[in-house]
Amino acid sequence: MNILTLLVLIPVLTMIAVLFTKDYKGARLASAIGMGIELIATVYLVLAYLAARKTGMMHEMLFTSDFIWYPSLNIHFAFGVDGIAVAMIGLTSIVIFAGIFASWELQYLTKEFFVSLILLVTAVYGFFISLDLFTMFLFYELALIPMYLLIGLWGTGPKEKSAMKLTLMLMAGSALIAVGILGLYYNSAPGGGQLTFNILEISKIKIPVAAQRFFFPFAFVGFGILGALFPFHTWSPDGHASAPTAVSMLHAGVLMKLGGYGCFRVAMFLMPQAAQEMAWIFIILTTISVVYGAFSAIWQNDLKFINAYSSVSHCGLVIFALLMMNQTAMDGAILQMISHGLMTALFFALIGMIYGRTHTRDVREMGGLMKVIPFLAVIYMIAGFASLGLPGLSGFVAEMTVFVGAFQHHDMFHRVVTVIVASSIVITAVYILRVVGLILLGPIKDAHHEHLHDAKWYEKLSTVTLVLSVAAIGIAPLWLSETIIASLKPIVEKLASIL
Amino acid sequence: MFYLFSGIILICSLLTITTRRILRAAVYLLCVLLATAGLYFMLNYQFMAAVQLTLYAGGIVVLIIFSILLTHHISHRFKHPDLTKLVMGISAAAIGSGLVIATILSHKFVPGTAPELPVNMTEIGNQLLSTGKNGYVLPFELISILLLAAMIAAIVVAKKEKNKNSEI
Amino acid sequence: MIQGIPLEHFLIVSTIMFFIGVCGFIIRRNLITMLMAIELILNSVNINFVVFNRYLYPDQLQGQFFSLFIVGIAAAEASVAIALIINIYRKLQNIEVENVNEMKY
Amino acid sequence: MTGYTYTLFIIMIPLIMFLVTGLLGMKWKPIVSGLLGTTGMGISWVLSLVTAGSYFFGGHHAEGFQTIIPFEMKWLQFTDTLIIKMGILLDPISVMMLVVITTISFMVHLYSIGYMHGETGFARFFAFLSLFTFSMLGLVIAPNIFQMYIFWELVGVSSFLLIGFYYQKPSAVAASKKAFIVTRFADLGFLIGILILSFVTGTFDFAKLTQPGTAIFGSAASMSFLGISAMTWAMTLIFIGGAGKSAMFPLHIWLPDAMEGPTPVSALIHAATMVVAGVFLVARMFPVIHFQAPATQEIIGYVGGFTSLFAAVIAITQYDIKRVLAFSTLSQLGYMMLALGVSGYGGEEGLGYMASMFHLFTHAMFKALLFLGAGSIIHAVHSNYMYDMGGLRKYLPITHMTFLIACLTIAGVPFLSGFYSKDEILVAALEHNKLLFAIEFLVAGLTAFYMFRLYFSVFWGKDRHYHHTPHESPLVMTIPLMFLAVASIFAGYLPFTELVTSDKVGFESHMNFAVAIPSVLIGLFGIGMAWILYKKESDVPAKLAAKFGMLYTATYNKFYFDEIYLFVTKKIIFNYISRPVAWFDRHIIDAFMVGIGLTTEKISYQIKGMQSGQLQHYAFMFVAGTLALALSMIYLLM
């Protein structure tokens, strides 16, 4: 059986297993086991991928398989992965594994919660392995629906409103994507012949430039909304603030990456001319995104808001780097996706755990937590350092690759915006240290906080998994970076060939 | 003969919708249906006419009359309809019929020249239940299922709710 | 028996009947009368089918069959409609269509 | 050439110690972590000394010292030419720095066992110390500028952690935050400088960059931005990075506050090692700066000169002994920068470069000694303030003696190490820039004055009321003091001119008495002034302070730089940028997005009346619609 099919099948089986469990303990155990197996399968996939590349398989995509699904429109279930997709799948597996343990104590409609969560993940896997625009879009849509339920049912605060806002904005995005994808489809055979949704086939032909110009903004903005592109990012603070822990983790950690991934796999890869022509608009937007998100984060008092704005800033960097359209910057973008996915998941997990203890997320009401919950506090600090780009953790590697890559651009405009974007590292330091200083250090502000208990085993498992991943990428980034670069080659060549 | 029937049809249908007593409306409807059956006879479609008489005139109208009896006093008279609705209805009918008649008159129909098929019960029965060309067994089955469903639905909907004191 | 009577005349009659039905459906308040108006509409369509069959394709029976089916559907529709009307009557004590507006907005 | 592979252990041992004590330290008795860390550091120290011995004295170096890269591995590849490698580069300055760092670090470790005894977080303290030492070592041995940047950041973080060691004290938290953010800001400059440099030259490697006469700058000359050449931009920005770490004016504000950390930390990080990273960076890039960006070198000289004067003036008025030392550090760092700013390249011309490194070395010894001595004093009297002290020479004999030696050294008294190194700097300054020489000459006097002001008011004068009788520190603390005192005395006799020079070729040095004698005199004059004013308690200083009035207050408040920064950050960044941005996001952008939703809702509310529930209206609409369609199909489209 194809390993990729297995990746989608395991979550589905897990969902079924969860449905047959009796109480919340069974449900969480089943989910944990299922996602554990999924993690193992992912590790196997990574190893198999690397081994296959080593034996010299030079195809763009590996492990491909193709089933015709709806012949009259030439829709296939076409699967396959390259290094980038493998990396994203790895990210997903780690985050969901940690996410299950982060929601270990949830007892309200547990079964339904885990089923929705795993459904969401299934869709994400499906998205990353799809080579067919239609199924890609299908999985994309499939990922949005459970999100609404998860936030609306298990969230906190004004959850219905936030869930509605998030879902509607993302749906608006997917409407744009749909237009973009259909545009690609109907232009996929400019010389006559069979229309196709297959990414690889479309990438081989040249879509008429006029069509590209028309459809590129649709596809790019559509995916950009999910990637928190300024000014379409406002779903992010509300949505994340209301979402339950595991959902925030998954959403910020993985789902937002769907946006970035889609931006380059669909919009830029398939419509390179338009991408080259219009990049400057989006570069300006993402530059704003990066700086603006960081500045907004300084002023927030809700931990989740801070992190949500930080995500806006970091995800802005992803799209910014993609638009630089050279190998190093795009490599940096992918690294940044993974790095941000891991560390933001870590952040949200920790915020959930801290909130579960202090029952507040207002930074002004906490203080001196380092004393009472040292484990969580130390991990929070590590996450903070990762976020502000400390060497040895993944954030640094990603950001530096982006900056160096972007600065290699031959055009002065690009280099100037790179400098502006690089200045965000200072602002990031400001807001991260502000939070760390307020909540972890200093004297204890609330007497109730003096008797909090430190992390339980499942919380430790969840956070340590993520910290180890962050540190592993930070300390030894070369293999990951090389895998990504190898897979970026065809894309970069295609982008460069039309200049 | 045709014009007689047509006249009955038109006048009675007009009366059906204009009379203020509901039972009379039912009777006018019956007249329309009977006249239609007459037309079928004229067209030499006896089977069709028979169905029209038994099912429509016999079945449906009786059903309607029953329901009238269940829900009305015989002496009940309608109020006059709203003016706006009257305008709406009449204008729609006028424009619509004008349009359709204009279309009909502007179109040249080509009468079929093939020899007339003798319409007897055997032929109808064969075609109704055959599966080959000119076979109608599938729609026939569909109709029968539809009727069954309608019957059940009617029973379910109209059945008295046990816990409620209703007037009927 | 039908010699000399052009097809158009049949069609005109059925058209007028159809639109009388439509008009009735729009202007009458009483649900049963509206039902009757629907019967008129169906009936006019029936006539059309049969007439087309007779005039244009005398060697086939499609028109007749469709009429038959329409009659069947009409019967089904009438029975369900009347069941509904009786139910509405039980709820509202009358069968004025203006009062049946629970589902608005 | 691979004979130096063992140098890898010098930096790996602290890392391992960090991991071990950091992860397992909670489970042990605290002292285990301390001993473990100290032992590890000791091994590194010995290895460094061995390295230095064999590098400097192990062969024939008539044609100059070679640059050795005993270990290198690929860490991350950006492009074909831009590759980050992790490795070790040995050349005179990096070997010298190895010795400085491991020596001071080992002494501080040893000292901390006594000083931090009984503190909560003892193990944590040693873990952080090891982390810092690791980062600092990684910085100095970096064979490329990017590895340097990586460790540069790590150094910043370990400094942040150590300043904020007493994390429950708000002032410590604020100080650590300030230190990190200010240096981070400077690091941004460094980063951008690296970006420009790598863009222009296509390499990160020092070996290629610092080779004189290399061709990689060929394309640089034509590039400029805003009328200033690319290399000047790059080097100035990199210097800003160095200035941030070395607390050059105007990025100096974090260093005095950083004294909130435990005193051994101040000795290690904020006196001897981390703060000289900036100087080291400039020295590392010296050939590039000197040949490609002479304008930057001018800037470096003036910034260094100004900082040294500025800090020395402030130091006179401070009462917190650690702050006096902090400003003194600033002043001395200014010296080193200035020396680099006035240096030429090669042989005698490169005197400033050599002097700077020389001063770096001696300064590390005596300033660490001063801080450790101050720590010993604070340990004894539990106060940081001079007005809580007096007459301590009776109680703390060893501390007294060592402190005196250090003060004499920094004041430039002949035959102690400070005299030699400072003298070289003055000579170099005199040869290149008279103005800077004048400044430095003045500063030499000021230095002597404020150091002896400190010395006299702490150890002389009359006894204060102490909570308990001050007592000498335990042996584990005084041994480092004594060792460093010896080093301070004799470090000046190292043949630096033959070992550490700008082009790695040694040259003969000779005393310039025309400079040395006046500088000794002004130093003695400073000491004499301090003697008069502070030996005995008197009201002269207070009167003087009153006489200078405004000027004194301004100086005491460090010329209000903290307030200016606070104003800029709090008011402008927080209130006038961040807050409006946050407001804008919530009330404009988000409101716009929500507004779209609300508009839809409003419209649907308005048009929901169409859904009247009146069946006949629907029927009419249906018929009308059908007719309209039919009409349009028939008469409009046909």
For residue D459, give the amino acid letter. Answer: F
Q: Is C2 on the interface with B (CB under 8 A)?
A: yes
Residue (of D108, D103, D101) closest to D371 by Cα position = D108
Bridge-based pairing of strands D224-225 and A62-70 is unpaired
Q: Is B4 on the interface with D (CB under 8 A)?
A: no
Inspect the structure and tell me whether chains A and C have 3 or more CB pairs less than 8 Å apart: no
Q: Supply the CATH number for residue B25's domain.
A: 1.20.120.1200
Beta-bridged to residue D143, according to DSSP, are none
Average pLDDT over residues A144-168: 85
Chain C residues with CB inside 8 Å of D616's CB?
A: 25-27, 97
Hey, are the CB atoms on C5 and B139 less than 8 Å from each other?
Answer: no
Tracing tokens 């040259």 back to the chain, one arrives at D507
User: What per-residue confidence (pLDDT) applies to D217?
Assistant: 66
Q: What CA–CA distance (Å, rounded) separates A62 from A168?
A: 35
> How do residues D615-628 score in pLDDT, each as one tens digit?
778 888 888 898 88
In chain B, % of residues over pLDDT 70: 86
Bridge-based pairing of strands A62-70 and A75-81 is antiparallel
DSSP string across C3-48? TT--HHHHHHHHHHHHHHHHHHHHH--BHHHHHHHHHHHHHHHHHH
Domain assignment present for B111: no
Average pLDDT of chain D is 81
> How do residues A387-440 score in pLDDT, each as one tens digit?
888 888 888 888 888 888 888 887 788 888 888 888 888 888 888 888 888 888
> How do residues D72-94 score in pLDDT, each as one tens digit?
888 888 877 788 888 888 888 88
Domain assignment present for B10: yes
Residue D110 has pLDDT above 80, yes or no: yes
Average pLDDT over residues A38-66: 83
Average pLDDT over residues D194-218: 76
Q: Kindly provide the b/e burial profile for residues D372-390, where b requires at least 16 CB atoms within 10 angstroms of the residue's own CB.
A: bbbbbbbbbbebbebebbb
Q: Do B63 and B128 have their domain in common?
A: no
Average pLDDT over residues A247-253: 86
Residue C22 structural domain: 7-95
Q: Which of A120-134, B78-92, B138-152, D185-199 has the lowest mean pLDDT?
A: B78-92
Domain assignment present for C2: no
> How do residues D320-333 score in pLDDT, each as one tens digit?
888 888 888 888 88
* Number of domains, chain C: 1
From D608, which residue of chain C is nearest by alpha-carbon distance? C105
Residue D212 has pLDDT above 70, yes or no: no
Average pLDDT over residues D202-208: 80
* Number of domains, chain B: 2
Between the CA atoms of D354, D358, D359 and D364, what dihedral angle is there, to the nearest 10 degrees? Answer: 140
Hey, are the CB atoms on C32 and B64 less than 8 Å from each other?
Answer: yes
Chain A residues with CB inside 8 Å of D181's CB?
A: 426, 429-430, 433
- Residues 6+ positions from D4 with CB-CB distance below 8 Å: D51, D54, D55, D68, D70, D88, D90
Q: Do B62 and B1 have their domain in common?
A: yes
From B103, which residue of chain D is nearest by alpha-carbon distance? D634
Domain assignment present for C89: yes
Average pLDDT of chain B is 80
- Residues 6+ positions from A462 with CB-CB distance below 8 Å: A98, A99, A101, A102, A104, A349
From the list A309, A327, A426, which residue is nearest D188 (CB)?
Answer: A426
Domain assignment present for C16: yes
Domain assignment present for C100: no
Which element (helix H / strand E) includes A53?
helix A24-54
Q: Is D616 on the interface with C (CB under 8 A)?
A: yes
Domain assignment present for B89: no
Residue A45 has pLDDT above 70, yes or no: yes
Q: Is B168 on the interface with C (CB under 8 A)?
A: yes
Domain assignment present for C105: no
From the list C60, C75, C90, which residue is nearest B166 (CB)?
Answer: C90
User: What per-residue confidence (pLDDT) applies to D214?
Assistant: 65
> How do residues A279-298 score in pLDDT, each as one tens digit?
888 889 889 888 888 888 88
Residue B108 has pLDDT above 60, yes or no: yes
From C81, which residue of chain B is nearest by alpha-carbon distance? B154
User: What per-residue confidence (pLDDT) applies to D539?
Assistant: 66
For residue D238, give the amino acid letter. Answer: I
Hey, are the CB atoms on D612 and C104 less than 8 Å from each other?
Answer: yes
- Of these ranges, A13-17, A72-76, B72-76, D556-560, the one predicted with the greatest mean pLDDT is A13-17
Q: Do B5 and B72 have their domain in common?
A: yes
> How do residues D508-541 score in pLDDT, each as one tens digit?
767 677 777 877 887 788 778 777 777 666 666 6
Domain assignment present for C101: no
Average pLDDT of chain C is 83
Instruction: Residue D630: count other Cβ atoms within 10 Å of its Cβ.
Output: 14
Domain boundary among B11, B46, B78: B78
Average pLDDT over residues B89-93: 86
Q: Do B4 and B63 have their domain in common?
A: yes
For residue D608, give the amino acid letter. Answer: K
> How do residues D9-55 score in pLDDT, each as one tens digit?
888 888 888 888 888 877 777 788 888 888 888 888 888 888 888 88
Inspect the structure and tell me whether chains A and B have 3 or more CB pairs less than 8 Å apart: no
User: What per-residue confidence (pLDDT) applies to B73?
Assistant: 65
> How do residues D551-589 score in pLDDT, each as one tens digit?
767 766 766 777 777 777 777 777 777 777 778 777 777
From the list D611, D614, D619, which residue is nearest C25 (CB)?
Answer: D619
Beta-bridged to residue A302, according to DSSP, are A362
pTM of the model: 0.80
Stretch 10-49 of chain C: residues touching chain D, C-beta under 8 Å: 22, 25-27, 34
Residue B164 has pLDDT above 60, yes or no: no
Partners of chain D (3+ Cβ pairs below 8 A):
A, B, C
Domain boundary among B19, B49, B78: B78
Q: Is B48 on the interface with C (CB under 8 A)?
A: yes
Hey, are the CB atoms on B43 and C82 less than 8 Å from each other?
Answer: no
Q: Do B61 and B127 have their domain in common?
A: no
Q: Is B103 on the interface with D (CB under 8 A)?
A: yes
Domain assignment present for B104: no
User: What per-residue confidence (pLDDT) applies to B168?
Assistant: 45
Chain D residues with CB inside 8 Å of C101's CB?
A: 612-614
Residue D205 has pLDDT above 50, yes or no: yes
CB D392 within 8 A of CB D334: no
Angle at D468 between CA D467 and CA D474, to 5 degrees: 130
Q: Supply the CATH number for residue C44's domain.
A: 1.10.287.3510
Which tokens sit at A367?
């203080």
Q: Is D612 on the interface with C (CB under 8 A)?
A: yes
Hey, are the CB atoms on D589 and A231 less than 8 Å from each other?
Answer: yes
Residue B130 structural domain: 120-168
HSE on the CB side for D318, CA within 13 Å? 22
pLDDT confidence of D1, banded at 50, 70, 90?
very low
Name the residue with higher pLDDT: D69 or A402: A402
Residue D545 has pLDDT above 70, yes or no: no
D225 φψ region: left (φ > 0), alpha (ψ -120 to 50), beta (else): beta
Mutate to test the interface with D, among C18, C25, C84 (most CBs of D within 10 A): C25
Domain assignment present for B71: yes
Chain C residues with CB inside 8 Å of D614's CB?
A: 97-98, 101, 104
Angle at D18 between CA D16 and CA D19, to 5 degrees: 65
